[in-house]
Amino acid sequence: MSGERLQGQVFLVTGGGSGVGAAIAAACVGEGARVVIAGRDGAKLEAVRDALGDAVSPCVADVTDRDQVRALVEHAIASCGRIDVLVNNAGVNVVDRSLECLTPVNWDYMMGVNATGAFNVAREVLPHMRRQGRGLVIAISSMAGLRVGVVSGAAYSASKHAMAALTRSIDLEESAHGVRATVISPGEIDTPILEVRPEKVTDEHRARILRPEDVAAAVVYVASQPARVAIPELVIKPSGQKS
C-alpha cells in the first residue's frame, strides 16, 4: 500500500539495481520520495527506473571509485536539489570466503565495496547535509557486522563491522549538524548474494528467511521518524534465526 510518509524526501541508494536496493527504491517511491539509485550495472538500474517511473533517477557509479562517487553525488544534487537520506546498501561477498581460501584480492574487494565504499559516499554526501542542517545516513549492514560466523566469512564480517563502526561514528559526530545515522543489521535475506554461498541454498531455506521488502520496510520506518528521534541500530532477522 502506498502512502506519503516520505513525501518530498530525496534518497540516494547505492546498490540500487537489484535485491535490497531495488526494494528500498520501490518502498520509498511508494511513500512519496524521489530516489537516486546507483550501481555498476546500468541495465539493471534502468530496469528499476522503468518499473518505478520518473521518481527514480539512475546513475552508474562504482562506490570504490572516488571520482565516480563525486560525480554521483553531484548528479543527485543537480537533479533533485538535495539529499535527505543516504542509504549505503552496496555490498558483496565471494564463494571462497574461509580463511584457508581467502585471497588478498578478495579481501580488498570486500573491504573496498562494503566498508571503504560506504565511507566514500558518506564523505561526499555529508558536506551537503551539514549545510542543510539535517540529514540521515542509513547503513544496510548485517548481523555478521555484530558477531562473526563461519557462513559469512572473515572478510565479509570484518567489512560489515567496519561499516557499522563508521555509521555509528557519523551518528555521534554529526548530530551537532542535525545529521542522524542508523545501522540496520538484517539476518539472512533472499537476495542474489546467496548465489555466492559456498553451498547451494535450498528453496526450503529461502522460504524461511527475510525478503528484500522486509529490509525496505525497515528503511521506511527509520526514515519516517521525526528529526528528534534517533535510531542508532535496528536488527531484523528471520523468525527462528539465532541472534
Give catalytic residue positions. 156
3-state secondary structure of 58: strand
> Hey, what's the cell of 84?
535527505
User: Residue 185: in which H helix or E strand, if any?
Assistant: strand 179-186
- Closest C-alpha among 13, 123, 112, 126 to residue 64: 112
Rounded to whole angstroms, how far apart are CA atoms 97 and 155? 7
Going by the DSSP 8-state scheme, the letter that residue 104 receives in this structure is H
Chain Cα centroid distance, residue 124: 16
Q: Which residues touch 131 (CB under 8 Å, ≥6 apart)?
A: none
Set of cell numbers at residue 111: 573491504
Residue 129: CB atoms within 10 Å = 24
In a 13 Å sphere around the CA of 18, the CA atoms on its Cβ side amount to: 13
